Amino acid sequence: MAIKTKDLNARLFGKADKRRATNVAEAQTAAKDKAAVIELAIAGEETVAFELIKINAAEVKTKTQIFSQNAREQAFLTEHALADILVTLKDRGQQYPAVGRWLEDGQIEVLDGSRRRMSCILAEKDFLIYVAKGINTEHAKFLSDVANAHKPLSLFERGKEMQALLDNGKVTDQKELAKYCQCSEALVSGALKAASLPMELLLAYPSVGELGRPTIVKLHRIYFGLAGQQQQQLIEQLASADSAMWKRIDAQGITRITREVTMQLEQMGDSLQPKLLVEKAKAQELVKGKVTFTRDGDKLQLKLKKMSDRQVEDILAYLNDYLK
């Protein structure tokens, strides 16, 4: 007697809810329904079966790691940066499983879902992830890049990718980079400025993804307006604090906290600016015992002693005539 496909799936996988996803919509539906196994065609090439795994909350940090080529900077994933999914996850648990691959040491490498992983860690919730074997690095990068399209990268993260394109010779300048990335040259300039900033400066903010070009330009001016030694002092001040600057701000809401952080960083930058010692102009003697003068830039101050009325009148008349 022939075994039906669904019955065969049930014997192979222990459940009959296996899905084959041929497009993004089908994959999302399967993920939402939490099918035990889904099949995905990666980069339009081979089809791979992913099995749904649940990792206990206490083991998420130790049993999983992030794909090394993931463009999203993990240090930026704070409570504020994850606010859009953290509230729901705390109340109802993880709604959409992440996607990953098995590594040879038994670890799971997260390709799609680094934000969900960190949210589960912060909320102390179980982590759901579809995992497959035999995914090569090229396909892993494809899955990671597609995932990042769901939540836009920060200017810093985009800038890192753009700088890599410049460094490896993929493009030659910012104008060509703008065409390659299909964005404005202003965005390219802002992103590259962001990528040049030290992490300590960016981590002073509650959500780096919320920093727009005006703030990035201001930070660039603050940091690169300092000499090398002063830059190091600024970084040391930020790194030596017990907690991130944004956590010490007495304000509510990302916008207000962000503004306060920027103001404090400006004050720190100003305090580190080297103070120029201006030597006070000294009086010089022109006529011994009678006339001294002080020159300060384009200013000239004369001090005359023992002058008769006639001498005063003559000097004033001469100056009046000479300076007309």
pLDDT digits (tens, 9 = 90+) for 136-192: 888 888 888 766 556 678 899 899 989 999 999 889 999 999 999 899 999 999 999
Four-residue CA torsion sign, 56, 60, 65, 70: positive
Q: Which residue has the higher pLDDT, 253 or 159?
A: 159
Alpha helices in the chain (DSSP H): 5-13, 24-33, 60-63, 83-92, 114-123, 137-148, 155-167, 174-181, 185-195, 199-202, 213-224, 228-240, 254-272, 309-322
Is 173 buried (19+), middle (13-18) or exposed (0-12) by CB count in 10 A?
Answer: exposed
Region 286-290: mean pLDDT is 83
Measured CA to CA, the distance from residue 192 to residue 157 in angstroms comes to: 9
Region 67-95: mean pLDDT is 86
| Least confident interval from 6-15, 153-162, 188-197, 210-219 | 6-15
Residue 43 in this model has a pLDDT that exceeds 80: no
Residue 111 and residue 102 in contact, taking contact as beta carbons nearer than 8 Å = no
Measured CA to CA, the distance from residue 195 to residue 216 in angstroms comes to: 10
Residue 254: which pLDDT band, with cuts at 50, 70 and 90?
confident
Residue 2 in this model has a pLDDT that exceeds 50: no
| Least confident interval from 5-14, 127-136, 219-228, 290-299 | 5-14
Residue 41 in this model has a pLDDT that exceeds 80: no
Residue 5: which pLDDT band, with cuts at 50, 70 and 90?
very low
Residue 4: which pLDDT band, with cuts at 50, 70 and 90?
very low
Region 211-224: mean pLDDT is 93
Grouping H, G, I as helix, E, B as strand and the rest as coil, residue 20 is: strand
| Least confident interval from 12-16, 24-28, 72-76, 266-270 | 12-16
Backbone φ, ψ for residue 140 (5° rounding): -65, -40
Query: For residue 148, what pLDDT is reported?
Result: 59
The token duo for 221 is: 């001016």
Residue 102: which pLDDT band, with cuts at 50, 70 and 90?
very high
Could you give the percent of the chain with pLDDT greater than 90?
37
Is 101 buried (19+), middle (13-18) or exposed (0-12) by CB count in 10 A?
Answer: buried
